[in-house]
Structure formats: C-alpha cells, structure tokens
Amino acid sequence: MATDSKLTPMMVQYRDAKAELDSDVLLLFRMGDFYELFFEDAVRGSKLMDITLTKRAGVPMAGVPHHALEGYLGRLVENGTKVAIAEQMEDPKLAKGIVKRQVTQIITPGTIVEGAALESGRSNFTVAICHGKNDCFGIAILDISTGDFRITQLDDRAQMEMELNRLQPAECLLPERLHGDWTEEGFPDLGRQPAWTPIDDWTFDAEITTDLLQRHFEVASLDGFGCREFPAGIRAAGAVLYYAQNNLRGNAEHITVLSPYSSSSYMVVDRISQRNLELVEPLFTETRNATLLALLNKSITPMGSRLLREWILRPLLEIPKIRERQDGIEVFVNDQLLLVELREALSAVKDLERTITRLNVGAANGRDLRVLQHGLAAIPDLRAILDTNDNSALLNSLAERLHGLPDLVDLIDNAIVEDPPLTIKEGGVICEGYNEHLDDFRNGATEGKQWLADLQAREQEATGIKTLKVRFNKVFGYYIEISKSNLDLVPDTYTRKQTLTNAERFMTAELKEIEDKVLGAEDKAKALEYELFQELRGAAVARTGAIQDLARAVAVVDALGSLAQVALQNHYTRPVVDDEMTIDIREGRHPVID
C-alpha cells in the first residue's frame, strides 16, 4: 500500500479501517451507491466475485452496487471468505470534509444473519471448542441468525466429534494452540467441512469468559442457567459470545438465553449412520429428496423445518418425553379439521426468529417489520386452536407461551405501509397520517412538484418551445432541458447548466427557488421517516426475548403438525414405546423407499 503522502484522505481512511482487521478479511468500503475494494483486496475480490478489476492512479479497484451486495456476500461466504462491511456513518450532503465511515460488521460463514448463504431450513451454527481437564471437551453452540445459544461438555474427543457431526456447524472456533495441534494431526472429518477459525487463547480464559457472560446476561452468577457442571462449556460459551460481539460490533443483544444440555439425553447417531440411513443428506446427489427429512418435513414455517431437522439428528431417549411428543401428534391425527386450521394459521407466520435478529443488528427494513407484524397477528388464532385440546400436556404448555403482543402489532400496522420498499433511507416506508410533521413535509414536496409542472407549462408558453421540459437527476438536481434546434428561443434570463450532444440544460431563479423547497421538503421527510423507522425498530427490539420464546413454541407446534400430516398421508400408526428390550414391527415399511 502507498505511503500517506501518496494517499488521498479517503484512501487514508480506508487504510486505517483495513489495519483494524485480520489480514484474511476482505473490506467492502461504502462509497455512494457502491461498495469498493482496493489494493490486494480488489485483486482477490474480483476473482472471488467474478467482477471487473480496474486501476486508478495505479491503485487496483473493484466494486459492487449496494443493492446487489446480498448476492455477492452469499458467494463470498460460501467460499469461506470473511468480509468486513464499512458503512457511511453520516449523510454525505451534511458531511464537513470526508464522510465518516466505520466497520459495522464482520461476516463469516458462522456469523451471517441474512442473505442467500443462510438456508432457511437449517440452523447456521458457530461452535466454539474448549479442551478441558481430564481430556474432556466443552462446546458452545450459537446460531447468530436466531440467538439460539447452548452449551454442553463431552468426555472425550470421540464424543465431541460425534456431536459436531450432528450439529454440522458452519464455523468452528478453536484456541490458537488447539488449532495448531489439529493442523498437524488433522481436523475432525465432518463431511460438510466448516471454517476452522483460530482465535486468541485468552478468549477461553475461565475468569474472562465468566465475567463476559455475566455482564452480557446482567447476572451475578451463571448458576441460574444450570451450567455449573460444564466449566469447559462455559469457557467455550464466553469465547463464542466474544466472537459474535466483535463481528457484530456489539449488536448481540438478541442472544438472551444460555441453555445447557446433556448429550446423554439423546441417541448418538454417528456420521456414517447418518449418511447410510439418509437422514438429512442423500447418498447420491441425484436423489436429493430421498431422505427422511424430505419425507417428514411438511412444516409451514422455517422455524419448524429447522427444529424437525434437529429432532431427526437428535432422537430422544427418555420415554416420557417421547410419549409427550406422540401425544401432541395424536391430537392432530385424531382431529383433522383442527390440523387444517393449525396449518392455515401457521401460513401467516414467517421466520420470526431471524426477523427479530435482523432488527436487533440493524440489518432490517420496513418489510421485516411487516413480516413481524403479520406473524404476531396470527398468534392469537394459533393459541385458540391449541386451547381446544384436552389431551396433550405439551400442546397446553406451548399454548401458554403464545402471546401475540397486540400493542406491538397495532403500532407496526398503523406505522408501516403494507408493501414497503427495500431501502429505509429513501422514504415511502411510513403510513400517511402516522406522524403530523411527516405529512407536512410530504405535502410541501407534493405542492412543489405541482409548482414545477405549472412552471413547465408557463415556460413553454412564454418561450414558444413546446418541447421544453423540466427534469431532475441526482447529480444536477432540477433543470430546464431544451433541444439544440430551439436554442435561439432561449431567454436571457436562463443560465446554462450543462451541454449535451442534442440538448442543453438551464436554470432560472424561479426554478432554483422551487428546487430548494421541493428538495428541502423531500430531504426532511426522508430523514424523519428514517428516525421514525428506528423508533419502531427499537419498540420491536425491546420485545426480543418474548418474540424468540413464542417463535420457539411455534416451531414445536409446526413440527408436530408436520409429523401428523405425514402420518395421515402415509397411514402411519403410533408405536408403543416402553422399557421392554424387544422390537416388534408388523407390516413395517421403509419410509424413504416406500
């Protein structure tokens, strides 16, 4: 990279942002309507994204339009590339000097919260691994896209590898020392290989991690989470939380609960068995749907699909819990009308878990608030359906967790237009009548545009130029455009603004006055809309814990309904599960082959 004396102020800003990052992180630097890459990042990024590499003043450059970022991010993350996003932190029109920019997030395979690389039907786990005493392993599992945060502890490496095979993480965090050992010995074979990321050994320190977790959850002790038996797991949990906070630049408040679990409560299904049984992945790619998951997954919501996948990979061992789940399925099998009503109600519920995460981390738009509103509005109907049941303790407990948050539903419904645009900074998001000041600004802009139309008509008549047009673009603002053939009719009061091949553009004092009124009103309206959107986002974020809990309850209900639907379609019967050491199957059929 060039020395300071040869760099522009903007490039010095880029260099300083780049210096804060690890060398393997690509920096996408927001400049107007593009995200730009420079120097070595431009060369590397152009190859990874298949975009044009150019040079300016000897500096390699490449860039992508801001509206296309999601697609390019998906491509980079799928390749295991880490990407930092540097955003403009102020309006360029209001900036004094160079626009302030800063890195707002670092995106890795395990920390992506939106986009094509995030499969709706499977969790996207980041797993931290800590080698503890007596050769045990503590692991912490975090799906940043949903806030799902769990820990456990395994007796040895074999158990740890089996758990990783079940989880199929997108990224694994290792202390540098352990990463070095495994680099020499070989990393665990997980089939779908994750990104193996080394992080500083000190991030796994017992005192540091305990303090970090206590501060994040605002508790004096972690005993309330029931994880005292997992000291190595706690160290792993602190490490993965630190990684999330760093990559999200502190926006990790959607991680609200830490849940310990014991692997002994579930049947261990090793990778070879998973593969041969074709539980979630087929033996051959051409038979993509020939899996148990494809057969059983009739879930309506993404949350239900993710949970059902987990149930298949983590079969229950405790008979009371198996029977509890069977009771829930049986309610819907015995009342098909109830099942139809359930699935109709679920159709209004989208991915509440990932939506509230996007709202928390600042990656959401008006459509996300509408998705949240529609989903929450359907919750009372879901609860009413479950309240008709008298035969399932599980369904009763789930109904108790379904609270629709009517105040938040009404707030969003009154504020956000039904079909909002993708961007939140160009207006058109907030309903008319929601805010009096916003309506005033909008009326001013509308009146100004009528003035412009009237001005065009008057100028056409005054000059005799019937083709005279009042136009606008983002670079030059408003102007009067006149073709070359009519230039002899242009009045002396017109000031030339730009010359084109077939026309010239002019400004007048009256047009300038109207332009200031229109653009001023539009800018004020857009700024106020953005402020109002942030207030609405804050109202939703304040209910994160409640939304996550009801989303998890919806997932269980949806998964039970999915299994009931398949049972009815395929004429499955409920097996008797007990402590007897025998298996008695009569007229059994292979579910996938059948």
Please report, rounded to a whole number, the percentage of residues in the chain having pLDDT higher than 90.
68
| pLDDT at residue 255, rounded to an integer | 96
Categorize the per-residue pLDDT at 576 as very low, low, confident or very high, splitting at 50, 70 and 90: very high
| pLDDT at residue 432, rounded to an integer | 94
| pLDDT at residue 4, rounded to an integer | 56
Distance CA 213, CA 230 (A): 14
CB atoms within 10 A of CB 356: 27
Q: How confident is the model over 105-125, as pLDDT tens digits? A: 999 999 998 877 788 999 999
Q: Select the more confidently predicted residue: 541 or 450.
A: 541
Domain tally for the chain?
A: 4
pLDDT > 80? residue 420 = yes
pLDDT > 90? residue 58 = no
| pLDDT at residue 448, rounded to an integer | 81
| pLDDT at residue 56, rounded to an integer | 86
Which pairing describes strands 82-88 and 25-31: parallel, antiparallel, or unpaired? parallel
On whether both 361 and 474 belong to a single domain, the answer is: no
Which domain CATH number covers 295? 1.10.1420.10
Please report, rounded to a whole number, the percentage of residues in the chain having pLDDT higher than 70.
98
Categorize the per-residue pLDDT at 506 as very low, low, confident or very high, splitting at 50, 70 and 90: very high
Domain assignment present for 464: yes
Q: Which residues, 6 or more positions from 228, have their beta carbon under 8 angstroms from its beta carbon?
A: 222
Per-residue pLDDT averaged across 3-21, rounded?
Answer: 81
On whether both 398 and 294 belong to a single domain, the answer is: yes
Q: Which domain holds residue 458?
A: 436-537
Q: What does the DSSP 8-state code read for residue 156? A: S
Sign of CA dihedral 366, 242, 103, 69: negative
Q: How confident is the model over 421-467, as pLDDT tens digits? A: 988 888 999 999 999 999 988 888 888 888 889 999 999 999 999 99
Per-residue pLDDT averaged across 339-364, rounded?
Answer: 95
pLDDT > 80? residue 306 = yes
Domain assignment present for 254: yes
| pLDDT at residue 584, rounded to an integer | 92
On whether both 214 and 134 belong to a single domain, the answer is: yes
On whether both 195 and 99 belong to a single domain, the answer is: no
Whole-number mean pLDDT of the chain? Answer: 91
pLDDT > 90? residue 589 = no
| pLDDT at residue 33, rounded to an integer | 86
Domain assignment present for 577: no
The secondary structure of 258-327 as a DSSP string is: -EE--GGGB----HHHHHHTTSSS-SSGGGTT-SHHHHH---SSHHHHHHHHHHHHS-B--HHHHHHHHH
Placement of tokens 């229109």 in the chain = 518
Q: How confident is the model over 29-46, as pLDDT tens digits? A: 998 888 999 999 999 999
Categorize the per-residue pLDDT at 281 as very low, low, confident or very high, splitting at 50, 70 and 90: confident
| pLDDT at residue 270, rounded to an integer | 84
On whether both 246 and 282 belong to a single domain, the answer is: no
Which domain CATH number covers 147? 3.30.420.110
Distance CA 525, CA 443 (A): 10
Domain assignment present for 82: yes
| pLDDT at residue 232, rounded to an integer | 95
On whether both 160 and 251 belong to a single domain, the answer is: yes
Q: Which residues, 6 or more positions from 118, have their beta carbon under 8 angstroms from its beta carbon?
A: 112, 124, 145, 354
| pLDDT at residue 5, rounded to an integer | 56
On whether both 301 and 375 belong to a single domain, the answer is: yes
| pLDDT at residue 473, rounded to an integer | 86
Q: Choose the weakest-confidence range: 140-144, 188-192, 329-333, 468-472.
A: 188-192
| pLDDT at residue 383, rounded to an integer | 94
Per-residue pLDDT averaged across 199-215, rounded?
Answer: 96
